[in-house]
Amino acid sequence: MKVAFLEDVPNVARAGEIKEVADGYGRNFLIPRKLAVLANSQASSIIEAQLKKKALLQAQTEEEMSKLADQLEGKEVTLKAKAGAKDRLYGSITSADIAAELEKSTGLVIDKRKIELTEPIRQVGSYEVAIRLTKDIMPKIKLTVVEEEKEDKAEKKEDKEKKKEGRVEKKEDKEKKKESRVEKKEDKEKKKGGRAKKKEKEEAAR
């Protein structure tokens, strides 16, 4: 039987082509799945409408992917991992790890299969990773893999410094309050002395 293909069927035909296929293959597989229609007088108009719909959908997808690429291009992502001698990781960083961190840090959901890694990352360092959104749209992100323990130690040291600064500030505040109390006491003494002198003058005048 002759059929007109509405969709690309790998190793068989491309959308828009008319080909002779086995009756069972056409009736039981291609036609029920709307991959093809019988090649009759209506086939050409059906194909034309289907191809227009497909082109419109593809244009919309291209536009969406282009916007996503703009958001992704140059993004910096940091992943922590345990490492041993010579900064070699215990385990590896995979495309699934990168996709998960991207979603966590940017909110952008990327299919891990679109992240192009020739092989998993097994070393601490900086990497440029390509994301193939479509055949022609491929933004690149910057991935930094850091040693987990070193990073945690740095954070702990920073927290310790902040706490130390906080204690110093509290001590300074305490000193200022003490000075303020001393000044108030001195003012009180001066006022008291002033009243005593005034009283002496009044008694002398009598």
Q: Which domains does the chain have, with CATH numbers?
A: 2-70 (3.40.5.10), 73-152 (3.10.430.100)
Q: What is the mean pLDDT of each run of 10 residues along the chain (206 residues)?
A: 89 88 93 89 80 85 89 90 86 92 88 90 92 90 85 59 75 77 74 67 65
Model confidence, pTM: 0.52
Position 128 scores a pLDDT of: 93
Position 57 scores a pLDDT of: 87
- Burial track 162-195 (b if 16+ CB lie within 10 A, e otherwise): eeeeeeeeeeeeeeeeeeeeeeeeeeeeeeeeee
Position 115 scores a pLDDT of: 93
Position 9 scores a pLDDT of: 92
Q: Which two tokens stand for residue 178?
A: 């003490």
